Chain A
């Protein structure tokens, strides 16, 4: 998740800004270091007169900085900012709503029933409006390879644009300290060719297939359904991530673990050890029931 490996025109503009500023900074630093170096070399001899020194201070300390900073201000805050600020109304065709939770991301697609978590799919070469808010405390949505960050603040909707150049997985993370598990609040943006994205979205919109397995019964009759939703079943809890298509995701717990049977089982029974303080409880369950439950969750494609 490197800000200097841009994968969108926004991130590319910011990265070029950085390289120019880095170059300018080197000149400034070498200038000061050169003056101090000269003072070291000439330390036994007197330097310029007071009048000359004052003129140099005014030139290097007032005139040059005003020119440099005015240029930087003009380029970054008049031009570059146009690409990184929120897109104009109706300029985008797809809207993704991201809601920060302690410590995971809820993801909704405007105008559809699709709900997922932590893994955001977007079509490539398509401007996407991302609307960010929070269900609890302030978080910050940040995918450095695609754009600058935007805070998610309760009672407020903030917007940025995502527009990935090429298909790929772009890691992101919560950047605003949000409590004990701030460190485990990552996310991933999956940029897909538009056709593949449309297939994915259509599949995410569907409710889960009805299941009569022992695992399904455990989930729906037990405590799981109080916090998690599986669309198309009686599970409608809204404290935790929507699990309707859990098996279509590559990771669980905001990218803390891989979505494998072993990691799922570990998460269900020992999540407080893996991500201490997270809002789920360790589920006490017999090995046979755990296998059935994991099998059910793995069937939610």
Chain B
């Protein structure tokens, strides 16, 4: 539906939206695409770190009584692996990288609703990642697991700084996620192209809306938990101290009130990627669209009522267990709706099984396997039998690696032509899929068996003679096969970046608005603000009625009503700004001083933050 725009208009837009060249441009950027790329490269490095931690653990466990790493190192490895993959890879990769880059393009906007806040959330994220990994460099990385149960994480049993790094890194990271989530919510609800009513919003955006609401409501529980723990440890309060009337289980309740919605926050963006790739490769609209959109939102909503199913072995009263088991049973329905909607869409269209769709088929199969073992946890006695064993490790890695990360891989291939203007190499792409698919199954499937055979999770070694050795060796081999496939994937993309065939605007005949603009997109995204009549605007005939909305004076952006997408006003968006990175830097100093208990200096740095924030807004007022 691309509409030709006069050359002078394009030139004027380019001048107005151009950012500073070079490094300074990247440091002060407010362009959602650049922020998305910054997120992408940062989270990719962190994915490498989390993967290296995983492979070190797998090497240690490849045979009984192994001595590759000692127990203290191993404990830091599994704690960091979990924290990294959840908070520093999947969430920032989906919302930060994919969401930032794609959502404004899909809804026909020129930027995020709050461009500077968007940059701020990235720089805070970067600060929190550096903060967390400083702990590893100092040899005091968190070592009580990603869910960090007290009293093990209390000062009495963990006197070092490891757990202080844990608390502060998660509070710090949570600020970034909350900013990003609120930005997405406002962007999706207010910045849509005129006439894009809610029923015309791509399912991708519904998924990110659901994830953002989830983050915004779940994170406060985690932040409160982490603040309580830090106060217990360094100020002497007794929130979790049984000896002084506190409660050890309070930590678990607050943690899982956050932690279970978190699982859906991780997976829902993957649903969004799947519902983007499936229509493109089947040339067919997603069947049961309203059901799927509602299911995406419901899965997160119900996810808030199931937290105690992580605590079935803690001795809660049976009636409590049964209530939470029933709630956990409910959450299965929105998931089954989506699985069958994806399958039926693939069946209904003329499917082209290219690399992105292969990854989505892999994702569906993994999600079904992980989902079926998830359904088993509705059976409380069975949950109590296998919880905290390798069976659970198998279950959630099928979900988190198989179902959340596979669409990320598929999405990298799918949108690669849009980001680079070049096509990846198809055959190595398909081979990379099959290697990763095989490796993932080798890596995680035997964990079901070894878990039922009694292997607890989080053991740095295990005795011979229990029959666990062979399974563990297969898992380790699978880990390295997966690594080989991932290296092939990135090798393909890097090689394609330099040698891939140039492609035009729309190599897939994709359904959504990002396929109507050049590859890579210009800084202003849309020269003419599109008008939308369905959720698949690129498949509709061009909308010619009415005056084209060009908006070529300053950073102009139409603002529409949340439900019906009626044009309400034209907003002038902010330009690039040095304040976000400065504010994030000051905030990093605050957290660095907190961890070494220099509270006075932390207070001064906090004052600096306030000054920077003031300067930011004073500037804003002058514009």
Contact = CB atoms under 8 A, between A and B. Distances in A.
A46 B152 CA distance: 58
B315 interface: yes
Contacts of B364: 32, 36
A148 interface: yes
Contacts of B388: 140, 142, 149, 175-177
Nearest to B71: A180
Contact of B351 (A10, A29, A40, A137): A40
Contacts of B71: 180-181, 183, 276-277
B378 A177 contact: no
B381 interface: yes
**Would you list the 6 A-B pairs with minimal beta carbon distance, nearest first?**
A1-B454, A76-B379, A158-B315, A148-B384, A183-B459, A155-B242
Interface stretch (B92-100, B321-329, B412-420): B321-329
B313 A150 contact: yes
A28 B351 contact: no
Interface string B289-327: 001000000000000000000000111001001100110
Nearest to B152: A137
Given A61-B341, A69-B332, A276-B71, A175 B291 contact: no
Given A142-B388, A183-B461, 8 more contacts: A2-B454, A18-B376, A39-B346, A53-B348, A54-B288, A65-B332, A138-B152, A151-B314
A36 B365 contact: yes
Contacts of B380: 76-77, 81, 84
Interface stretch (B104-112, B190-198, B367-375, B423-431): B367-375
| Most-contacted residue by chain A among B344, B375, B389 (CB, 10 A) | B344
B382 A21 contact: yes
B434 interface: no
A262 interface: no
A80 B379 contact: yes
Contacts of B365: 29, 32-33, 36
A46 B313 CA distance: 50
Interface of B: 70-72, 75, 144-145, 149, 151-152, 157, 242-243, 248-249, 285, 287-288, 291, 313-315, 318, 321-322, 325-326, 329, 332-333, 336-341, 343-353, 361, 364-365, 368-369, 372-373, 375-376, 378-382, 384-389, 452-454, 456-463, 466
Nearest to A21: B376
19 contacts: A3-B385, A3-B454, A29-B365, A32-B368, A35-B344, A36-B361, A36-B365, A47-B348, A50-B285, A57-B341, A62-B336, A76-B381, A81-B318, A148-B384, A149-B313, A151-B315, A155-B248, A156-B315, A173-B454
A65 B336 contact: yes
A61 B333 contact: yes
A106 B587 CA distance: 47
A171 interface: yes
A58 to B, nearest CB: 7
A56 interface: yes
Given A14-B381, A171-B454, A177-B152, A153 B315 contact: yes
A102 B385 CA distance: 22
B387 A175 contact: yes
Contact of A13 (B145, B375, B381, B460): B381
A48 B347 contact: yes
B326, B340, B351: residue with the most chain A Cβ atoms closer than 10 Å: B340
A54 B346 contact: no
A183 B345 CA distance: 47
B339 A277 contact: no
Contact of A36 (B291, B343, B456): B343
A125 to B, nearest CB: 21
Nearest to A32: B368
A234 B348 CA distance: 82
B256 to A, nearest CB: 14
A84 B381 contact: yes
B244 to A, nearest CB: 11
Interface string A8-27: 00110110011001000100
A174 interface: yes
Given A1-B466, A2-B452, A73-B378, A29 B372 contact: yes
B372 A80 contact: no
Given A43-B352, A61-B337, A178-B152, A69 B454 contact: no
Interface residues of A, number: 86
Contact of B381 (A17, A156, A159): A17
A17 B379 contact: yes
A154 interface: yes
A33 B367 CA distance: 12
A148 B385 contact: yes
Nearest to B345: A53
A81 B340 contact: no
A245 to B, nearest CB: 24
A62 B381 CA distance: 25
Contact of B460 (A14, A61, A84, A183): A183
A291 interface: no
A46 B350 CA distance: 6
A17 B377 CA distance: 11
A153 B314 contact: yes
Contacts of B349: 46-47
B379 A182 contact: no
A85 interface: yes
Contacts of B70: 276
B315 to A, nearest CB: 4
Contacts of B453: 1-4
Contacts of A153: 248-249, 314-315
Contacts of A21: 375-376, 379, 382
A79 to B, nearest CB: 10
Contacts of B347: 35, 38-39, 42, 47-48, 53
A29 B366 CA distance: 10
B225 to A, nearest CB: 16
B361 to A, nearest CB: 6
B261 to A, nearest CB: 20
Interface in A118-172: 136-138, 140, 142, 144, 148-151, 153-156, 158-159, 171
A45 interface: yes
B158 to A, nearest CB: 8
A180 B71 CA distance: 6
Contacts of A158: 314-315
Nearest to A56: B344
Contacts of B242: 154-155
A178 B154 CA distance: 12
B343 A72 contact: no
Contacts of B381: 10, 13-14, 17, 76, 80-81, 83-84, 148
Contacts of A156: 248-249, 315
B329 A73 contact: yes
A278 B129 CA distance: 32
Contacts of B452: 2-4, 18
Interface in A242-295: 276-277
Contacts of B369: 29
A28 B157 CA distance: 45
A175 B149 contact: no
A140 B385 CA distance: 11
A73 B313 CA distance: 18
Contacts of B321: 77, 81
A104 B75 CA distance: 19
Contacts of B361: 36
A80 B322 CA distance: 12
Given A36-B346, A46-B349, A177-B145, A14 B157 contact: no
A113 B395 CA distance: 44
A141 B452 CA distance: 16
Given A69-B329, A177-B145, A277-B72, A149 B387 contact: yes
A181 B74 CA distance: 11
Interface in A64-116: 64-66, 69-70, 72-73, 75-78, 80-81, 83-85, 102
